Amino acid sequence: MTETTKKLPAPIAKEQPARQRIWPVWIISIIALICVIVLALWNWQQWNDNQATLRTLNSLEQDTAQLESLYGDRGSQQSQRLQALEDKLSAQRELIATQQRQIDHTARELLEAGNRTRTDWLLAEAEYLLRIANQRLLIEKDIRGALSALEATDEVLTESDDIGVYPVRQQLAREILALKGITGVDRTGLYLTLEAVIDSVHQLTDQALISEQAPGFIGSTPNEEGPEEGGEPSLLAKTWKKFKSTLMQVVVVRRLDESVKPLLSPDQSAYARLNLQLMLEEAEMAVLRGNQPLYERALAKAQAAVDDWYDGSNPRVSALNKTLAELQAHNVAPDLPDISKSLGLLKERLAGRLNQGSGSNEASGSSDS
């Protein structure tokens, strides 16, 4: 090493620049980021609260609208109920007024009834009996009941001391005589007879129907030779009779000059009985109603049905024909007289007594005043 080199100053060592500290920046950044996140979360929470508040407000508005409509409906319903109650109240008032008028009318009638005499009550009873008589005769066709009611009316009028009922009793005598001149109709007896005929129709068997043993066939003609005069038939007659019966079982000879009625099947036989029953029930209805044309027509149809479908030689059928002929001779609707004139006369007498009573009351009232 040279001398000059030795004399040079010692080299000064250069200081390294100090490294800048950056950790506060990171801390600030983190804090800022945290603040941003917290702010974002707070804003999001506020937005959610705002939306919930809006939903609550909408729900409250809807509830308010519903309450308003409900209260409005209730208000209209209440007004309707009030109107209905007012209508009922007015109807009740009218009913009370009507009942009050009825009570007043009844009270006046009771006062008038208290002023009536025994004769007034007897005349009222006679009027009731005459109404019953007219009803029995016109509606029920009951001659006996009407006659009994008229006779009871005459007895009641006999007990009264009113001389003004003389025309009524005179007309009653005529009506009673007119009813006595009518032949009474025993409707109950005719009805029961028809019921017995219907029962006998049910008892008719198929053997009573028109068959080959009925008139119209050769085998049923009474041309068979009877026993000889003197008692026992001869041997020749017995042989001929046996041969004829055997021949009748084999050969049937029908007459062509007479109408032959066809045989009935079991179903047709039941139909014939049912049809005959309906005709007889129609006759029963005619008896109860007093309809003579219907009665005669129903019995005529029943008689024709019996003649067409049943054998007249059968004992039950012959008894049925006889009963139907007897029933056809009855008159179920005789001419009925008019018995309403006595009722009209009695009403006139009652009205006259009522006018006399009111006139006497007015006269007494004027004299008192």
pLDDT in tens, 6-58: 555 555 555 555 555 666 777 888 888 888 898 888 888 889 888 888 888 88
pLDDT score, position 239: 76
Q: What percent of the chain has pLDDT over 70?
A: 71
Instruction: List the structure tokens of 294.
Output: 């219907």
SS3 of residue 254 by DSSP = strand
Distance CA 286, CA 290 (A): 6
* DSSP letters spanning 305-360: HHHHHB-TTSHHHHHHHHHHHHHHT--SSPPPPP--HHHHHHHHHHHHHHHHHHHH
pLDDT score, position 153: 92
List the one residue out of 193, 152, 196 whose CA is nearest residue 176. 152
pLDDT score, position 179: 87
pLDDT score, position 173: 92
Q: What is the pLDDT of residues 262-293, one digit of tens each?
A: 555 556 677 778 888 888 899 888 888 878 88
Q: What is the pLDDT of residues 81-92, one digit of tens each?
A: 888 888 888 888
Q: With 0.75 as the threshold, say if the pTM is over it.
A: no
SS3 of residue 217 by DSSP = strand
pLDDT score, position 365: 46
Sorted by where each begins, the domain ranges of the chain are 118-181, 185-210+262-333
269 Cβ contact partners less than 8 Å away, ≥ 6 residues apart: 206, 209
In which residue ranges of the chain is pLDDT below 50? 1, 211-231, 256, 363-369
